């Protein structure tokens, strides 16, 4: 190494090589403290919080106590906007490979248009953005169909990590993009000609979409809220319009005009239209209560049908049970009003025998019919049967035909072809096909000769005070029981 003599010039020498040779030999290696962002290891006398310092593995630069830039072996991080001076159309920033092939320059022209330019022999601008933010041109001389933005891996000769890739059919990014939060009026991502329409950050973990400066859709971690109608495709039962990622053949779709369908496993299970709801599978509802029946009405929620217990349904009105149906019986807690009916179609009848049952004949009168013909009438004064009435045999204490207020007085069957009359539960008289027996004396009206009653029906019996014995009337004359002689 030689020291340049005083007064010698460097015209014939490489100044940079000279500095590389001479400076270290004079002063050796410089070593500085690591420093901090507020007290850099290399700083200025008049600005002690501005300079260069070591931040972990980074070489960092601070200005006024704030970190401005950091460099390490993998990246350069800049924490404030980089401003490059206008160079009269010359490149303001260049990206070059070691072999100077496929270099890219960034510059601003005299019209304040920003250019990204390929400079590899022939100069081609492949992106130009005007001062108004509009893309105004693209390659014309040489078509550039592939643009890659990448970082070098290893020695950088042939291995890359792609950051962004631009193709004619797509733009693909391999790293996250960070944007300002924005607002509904000024979304972070918007169209160049429609600045108040786009995407923005509306809250923590929430992204929103606005049109015309007004929020229309919000997407958070738990739900998506739309402030405008969402119009979807029609869909089918196999591919419903509203479905699930893990179950694409289950969901809701449009069947026809004013009709939607619900499907599971690609098969329709329910239909809803303007007139009815139809299901092809059982519908299981909650049990409900009398006060809150499970099948009810929007305008009357305490009236409807519910499950009162196992194998039992009930109906309630005003929150109170009125009617119950189970496997053994039907119980009503209210009167049941039915149609009037006729003998041929009685109001109360049977599924297998619809012309047999009970109907209303007239006011205060009901009728019973079989095979469409009235057989029995019941009104407020009498009961009329058009058929024989077969009653139980009965006993003296409980006769078959009796009276509500005197149930041990009436008529009953003693044996074949024999009936009896009882009072106070005691046999008083028997009538058979051979004789009539009386357990008590028979008291008859007494008449004297010449004053016997006239017009008495056949079979009448009186007592003659003159003859002191009974007489009977044969329809024409009174006759003596013993001699069958006419008495007057």
| DSSP codes, 410-476 | EEEEEETTEEEEEETTEEEEEEESS-EEESSPPP--EE-TT---SSPPTT-EEEETTTTEEEEE-SS
In a domain, 385, yes or no: yes
Q: Is 399 exposed, middle or buried (0-12, 13-18, 19+ CB in 10 A)?
A: buried
Please indicate, yes or no, whether residues 136 and 261 belong to a single structural domain of this protein.
Answer: no
Please give the residue range of the domain that contains residue 368.
338-390
- Cβ–Cβ under 8 Å, residues 463 and 470: yes
Amino acid 364: pLDDT: 95
Question: For tokens 């960034």, what's the residue?
Answer: 106
Amino acid 6: pLDDT: 44
In a domain, 301, yes or no: yes
Amino acid 79: pLDDT: 81
pLDDT digits (tens, 9 = 90+) for 83-132: 666 556 566 566 665 555 556 666 666 666 666 666 554 455 555 555 55
Please indicate, yes or no, whether residues 200 and 296 belong to a single structural domain of this protein.
Answer: no
Amino acid 141: pLDDT: 46
- Is residue 194 helix, strand or coil? strand
Please indicate, yes or no, whether residues 89 and 221 belong to a single structural domain of this protein.
Answer: yes
In a domain, 305, yes or no: yes
Please indicate, yes or no, whether residues 69 and 112 belong to a single structural domain of this protein.
Answer: no
Global confidence as pTM: 0.44
Cα–Cα distance for residue pair 262/285, rounded to 1 Å: 17
Q: Give 233's strand partners.
A: none
Please indicate, yes or no, whether residues 88 and 203 belong to a single structural domain of this protein.
Answer: yes
Please indicate, yes or no, whether residues 203 and 117 belong to a single structural domain of this protein.
Answer: yes
**Residue ranges of the chain whose pLDDT lies below 70:** 1-30, 83-168, 441-444, 455-459, 463-464, 468, 488
Residue after which a domain boundary falls, among 195, 226, 257: 226
Please indicate, yes or no, whether residues 48 and 23 belong to a single structural domain of this protein.
Answer: yes
Q: How many domains does the chain have?
A: 5
| Phi and psi, residue 215, nearest 5° | -65, 130
Residue after which a domain boundary falls, among 375, 390, 405: 390
In a domain, 402, yes or no: no
| DSSP codes, 23-54 | HHHHH-------B-SSSBSEEETTEEEEEEEE
């Amino acid at each position: 190494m030689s020291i340049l003599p005083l007064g010698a010039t460097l015209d014939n020498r490489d100044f940079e090589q000279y500095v590389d040779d001479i400076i270290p030999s004079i002063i050796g290696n410089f070593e500085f403290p690591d420093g901090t962002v507020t007290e850099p290891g290399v700083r200025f006398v008049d600005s002690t919080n501005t300079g260069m310092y070591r931040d972990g593995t980074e070489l960092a630069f601070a200005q006024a106590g704030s970190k401005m830039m950091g460099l390490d072996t993998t990246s350069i991080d800049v924490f404030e906007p980089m401003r490059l001076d206008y160079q009269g159309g010359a490149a303001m920033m260049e990206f070059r490979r070691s072999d100077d092939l496929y270099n890219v320059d960034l510059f601003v022209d005299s019209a304040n248009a920003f250019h990204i330019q390929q400079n590899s022999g022939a100069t081609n601008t492949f992106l130009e953005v005007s001062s108004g933010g509009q893309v105004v041109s693209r390659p014309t001389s040489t078509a550039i169909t592939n643009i890659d933005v990448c970082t070098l891996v290893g020695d950088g000769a042939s291995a890359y990590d792609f950051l962004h890739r631009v193709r004619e059919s797509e733009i693909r990014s391999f790293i996250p993009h960070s944007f300002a939060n924005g607002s509904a009026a000024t979304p972070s991502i918007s169209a160049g000609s429609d600045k108040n329409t786009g995407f923005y950050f509306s809250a923590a973990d929430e992204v929103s979409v606005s049109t015309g400066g007004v929020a229309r859709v919000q997407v958070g971690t738990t739900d998506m809220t739309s402030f405008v109608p969402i119009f979807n495709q029609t869909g089918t039962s196999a591919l419903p319009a509203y479905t699930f990622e893990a179950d694409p053949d289950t969901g809701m779709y449009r069947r026809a005009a004013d009709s939607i369908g619900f499907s599971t496993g690609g098969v329709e299970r329910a239909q809803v239209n303007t007139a009815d709801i139809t299901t092809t599978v059982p519908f299981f509802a909650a049990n409900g209560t009398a006060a809150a029946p499970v099948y009810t009405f929007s305008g009357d929620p305490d009236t409807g049908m519910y499950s009162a217990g196992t194998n039992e349904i009930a109906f309630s009105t005003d929150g109170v049970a009125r009617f119950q149906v189970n496997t053994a019986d039907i119980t009503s807690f209210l009167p049941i009003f039915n149609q009037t009916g006729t003998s041929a179609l009685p109001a109360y009848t049977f599924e297998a025998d619809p012309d047999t049952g009970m109907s209303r004949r007239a006011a205060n009168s009901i009728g019973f019919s079989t095979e469409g013909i009235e057989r029995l009438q019941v009104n407020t004064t009498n009961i009329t049967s058009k058929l024989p009435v077969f009653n139980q045999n009965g006993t003296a204490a409980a006769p078959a035909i009796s009276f509500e207020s005197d149930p041990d007085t009436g008529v009953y069957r003693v044996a074949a072809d024999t009936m009896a009359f009882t009072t106070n539960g005691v046999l008083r008289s028997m009538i058979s096909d051979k004789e009539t027996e009386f357990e008590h004396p028979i008291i008859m009206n007494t008449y004297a000769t010449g004053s016997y009653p006239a017009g008495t029906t056949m079979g009448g019996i009186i007592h003659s005070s003159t003859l002191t014995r009974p007489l009977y009337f044969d329809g024409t004359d009174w006759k003596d029981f013993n001699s069958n002689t006419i008495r007057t």
